[in-house]
Copies of this chain bind each other. A is one copy, B any other.
Amino acid sequence: MYEESASGQADGPPTQRKGRPRSTTADDAILDAARSLLADGGWAGLTMGDVAARAGVAKTTLYRRWHSKHDLAIAAVAEMLGTLDLPDQGPDLRADIEDVVRRFAALLGRPEMRTALMGLVADSTSDPALRRRIREEVVNPQKRLVVEGRTRAKARGEIATPDDIDVDLIFDVIAGTVVQHILVSAEPASDTWVQHFTTFVVTGMLPHPTQPTPEPPARPPLEAK
């Protein structure tokens, strides 16, 4: 029964007691090799044999650290997420939103990131346990950016109560739209697109002027043409 420091990040105390310690340089080499292969050959290009070969390590060494290819992929991308946090004291809510959008776009701009992310999401579609891990270890940490933005907005007086912003919805909108734009529409997140989209999001957060279908709109039927 191995594991202990596996699963990616839960470490804490000196996990090792006695015996030969694990090579930390091997850890880095493996994760680097994994990202390299992901960038080169996509999700299908990430094979345990190739990772081992490129890292100059035996395949056994991989499985001593991670149980499966999924675990390795999660570890490889989780390490890229790094510490988040908005830049100190943005001027207003719009700037913070735009910053979050830009961060997501930059993340998905890396080939190794998008291939791993989509590969994991695809497999998680029929694997609730995997989906849960991805959500908790990869996605949810990013959600803090939105929470932080909301806190600041309230501190600035831009919104009255925290309920004015539905964090879950805003997050799904930003993350989902950026993914769709870059991965499916296959277009880069240009500056103008980011600003355009940010305007849409900020506008959408305004107090709902259009109530959920109040009644038949008193509107001229149609006289155009």
Interface positions of A (Cβ within 8 A of B): 41-45, 91-92, 94-95, 98, 111, 114-115, 118-119, 121-128, 131-132, 134-135, 139, 154-160, 166, 168-169, 172-173, 175-181, 183-186, 193, 195-213, 216-217, 219-225
Contacts and interface: CB of A to CB of B under 8 A. Distances in A.
A172 B126 CA distance: 24
A213 B94 contact: yes
Given A157-B222, A172-B181, 8 more contacts: A118-B118, A122-B122, A158-B223, A169-B193, A172-B177, A176-B179, A203-B208, A206-B221
Q: Quickly give the copy total for this chain.
A: 2
B177 A219 contact: no
A162 B172 CA distance: 27
B183 A125 contact: yes
Contacts of A200: 169, 173, 204-205
